Amino acid sequence: MAKSLGPVKRKFSPWTDPQAVPFIRFENITKKFGNFTAVNNLTLDIYEREFFSLLGPSGCGKTTLMRMLAGFEEPTEGRILLQGQDIRGVPPYRRPTNMMFQSYALFPHMTVEKNIAFGLQQDNMPKGEIEARVQEMLKLVKLEEFARRKPNQLSGGQRQRVALARSLAKRPKVLLLDEPLGALDKKLREETQFELMDLQHTLGLTFLIVTHDQEEAMTVSDRIAVMDKGIIMQVATPAEIYEAPNSRYVADFIGDINILEGSITDTASALGAPGTVKIESDGLSIAVDQECQAVKGDKVAFAIRPEKVRISPDAPADLSANCFYGEVWDIGYLGDFSLFIVRSEDGRLMRAAQANISRLVDRPITFGDMVWLTWSRDAGLVLTR
């Protein structure tokens, strides 16, 4: 049976359109709990039909932000607009948002059916329509034969589906997902991620998902907001976040990366685009093709992803920049690729990943080998923050 690989991502980027009206707008939101500032003067726009992720470590304020949209918390300062309407003071039971809770929060004394029907009954929907909608939802999450079970008679994955069906049953304008897949094992999680994308596409809803799992955010989102300590560090598409992080924090939070601290020795932007920046990092010269605001002498970081670093036992032709010589200190075999950790004479470590394109019997490069790490001038980037 052919499995759905999810819809082909359509060209969708309302955030680049200056005419587009945001569906949800957080405007200078601050939320304080006593002395603790959970969210600090945050402004964020989310567009209709967007699959938006709030990503960050625990305690960064992402869940608080979502709970303010659901109505469980009121912002200390600022306002939240939903379709242009200020929703301050509107209780949760009158908001057109529905939430899928991290703990699922299924009603233990009700059957799967009754759980899904609960929200519809609150709207005084006619009985026949409720039944039809419940059946539709059960079909959507493939739980038809479990309709009369109680939540404690279901597996974790099934419960998660019930929670999803319950939160989708009312066709909310915005579906809020709080760490929705946290309790699932990796395989099931990946499967569900694609199903979520499928659903979001077919139903045409706006999804806001809170997660600390960067892979999950990368997979499902149109855009990601990376948060730290109550502020947003960067809002961008998954590819931009990965390839062009705007700060050391974002670069380090998403994926694996080598960060080399140094200072700018030369900028050639004066010569015309693309600009070139030269960095000196403890005797290592680095050249990067990048437009950069920084000037000579500025302390910056050079960041490069391990998979963009080549590893070779032979010295490169050009030794003037972008090469790192050292001993293979450790090798992480990860199945699909191997991660080499190379240690220079002065003790600095740098990581290089290599796809295992053939079955590994004898490693051409192994522990203790002296190797050269090289990278092209457009592979890494300069971080000023």
Question: Is the Cβ of residue 162 or residue 224 nearer to other proteins in the bound state?
Answer: 162
Measured from the CB of residue 99, what is the shortest distance to other proteins in angstroms? 5
Closer residue to other proteins in complex, CB, 28/103: 103
Largest CA distance in the chain: 77
| Cβ neighbours around 85 below 10 Å, total | 10
Least distance CB 118 / other proteins (angstroms): 5
Q: Encoding tokens for residue 105?
A: 């929060």
Q: How far is the CB of 12 from other proteins (least distance, A)?
A: 27
- Tell me the three state secondary structure of residue 315: coil
> Which stretches of 145-237 are DSSP H helices?
156-168, 186-203, 214-220
For 68, counting Cβ atoms within 10 Å of its Cβ (0-12 exposed, 13-18 middle, 19+ buried), the class is buried
How far is 351 from 309, CA to CA, in rounded Å? 8
Tell me whether residue 108 or residue 335 sits nearer to other proteins (CB atom).
Answer: 108
Nearer to other proteins, 72 or 325 (CB): 72
Where do contacts with other proteins occur on this chain (CB under 8 A)?
70-72, 91-95, 97-99, 101, 103, 105-109, 118-119, 122-123, 166-167, 170
Separation CA 285–CA 318 (nearest Å): 12
Q: Based on CB atoms, which residue is closest to other proteins, 107 or 367?
A: 107
CB distance 38 to 31 below 8 Å: yes
Distance CA 213, CA 217 (A): 6
272 torsion bin: left (phi>0), alpha (psi -120 to 50), beta (else): left
Taking the complex as a whole, the smallest distance from the CB of residue 106 to other proteins amounts, in Å, to: 8
Minimum distance of other proteins from residue 36's CB (angstroms): 17
Min dist CB 220 to other proteins, Å, is 21
Nearer to other proteins, 105 or 259 (CB): 105
